[in-house]
Amino acid sequence: ALGGLGLGLWRWQRAAMAASEEEDEEEEMLRQRFMAPPVSGLRELRQRRRELRSRMELLIMETQAEVCRALAALDPGAAFAVDTWERKEGGGGISCVLQDGEVFEKAGVNVSVVFGLLSEEAARQMRSRGKSLKAKDGKLPFCAMGVSSVIHPKNPHVPTMHFNYRYFEIEEADGTKQWWFGGGTDLTPTYLNEEDAVHFHKTLKEACDKHDLKLYPKYKKWCDDYFYIKHRGERRGIGGIFFDDVDSPSKEEVFQFVKSCAKAVVPCYIPIVKRHCHDSFTPEEKLWQQLRRGRYVEFNLVYDRGTKFGLLTPGSRIESILMSLPLTARWEYMHTPPESSKEAEILEVLRNPKDWVH
């Protein structure tokens, strides 16, 4: 009997060692897939891998790596600086930024996973959007995570692209949790290319249609309305999709939708970059690109909700929040393009959004 017990113990030890080796291999595979170790740590994520918060963190890490590698493949002379940072109040992030490449003037892909207590200013901003938040002794514990990217190419015939996918969770006074997802992907060309616009929108529509045929038209309109520069009377770009505060039909279903959208980022944009990154351009076209970037800056600093939330959150990393700003931009007094010019053509679309998929 004792011999049998010893044999059983030996088998258990062998099984435990094999399981440990398997876990180490899994960790190494994850480490190679990402740009840097996750904020929450690989072991903790593996232990909580069935929880949605962990799955979302893995998704944003994978999305960051996929996009960075796709961009680096197009600009082999440049490299991403990988900057990991910690937030004193809780959490941290990974900022990956490429600057002054041959193809990309500035490309940033950021991941952040932050938690702590929501500031009163941030809570007020959320309540203004209709959120009913019941604080305990004035405190609201929260967790927010997301991946955010802005890509500014050098060639004016390659459009700027932005995407962001995020998850937010708040614990109220009675212990109940409110959660929601937000995000989107949008394109900002300097010059209109209808083939590019159709490809971009069709790719996003396909991602939405996997879940509900009503989502693309709804989120396309939301995007056109959200990226509106009121003081200019024009959109920031030709849109895409945008959504926020989405908390139905279920956490799992919304997560799967967000995953489909994140996976559509590379196929909706990289073919456009490949098509135009070696196009010739004139000094006048480069000037127009600089002026359009000025409008991009205006929207991000005056209206963008994510920028405002970041600046209102204690311990936020300002460099990462303002990563979306281009390396160069220009403002000219009373600049108006000639009628019937290519510059006037894009302005017409920015003032009157089009349906690109029908």
- The catalytic residues are 162
258 closest CA partner among 241, 271, 282: 241
Long-range Cβ pairs for the range 159-162 (8 Å, 24+): 159/187, 159/188, 159/189, 159/190, 159/196, 159/237, 159/272, 160/187, 160/188, 160/189, 160/190, 160/237, 160/293, 160/296, 160/326, 161/185, 161/186, 161/187, 161/188, 161/269, 162/186, 162/188, 162/324
What element of type H or E holds 216? helix 215-226
Both tokens assigned to 286: 């480069």
Distance (Å, whole) CA 165 – CA 146: 5
Distance (Å, whole) CA 102 – CA 147: 25
What's 323's DSSP letter?
Answer: G
Bond preceding residue 189 cis, omega within 30 of 0: no
Distance (Å, whole) CA 202 – CA 204: 5
What's 138's DSSP letter?
Answer: T
Buried b (16+ CB within 10 A) or exposed e, 226-260: bbbbeeeebbbbbbbbbbbebeeeeeeebbebbbb
Please, are residues 174 and 310 in contact by the beta-carbon 8 Å criterion? no
CA 260 to chain centre: 13
Distance (Å, whole) CA 16 – CA 248: 41
Buried b (16+ CB within 10 A) or exposed e, 36-46: bebbbebeebe
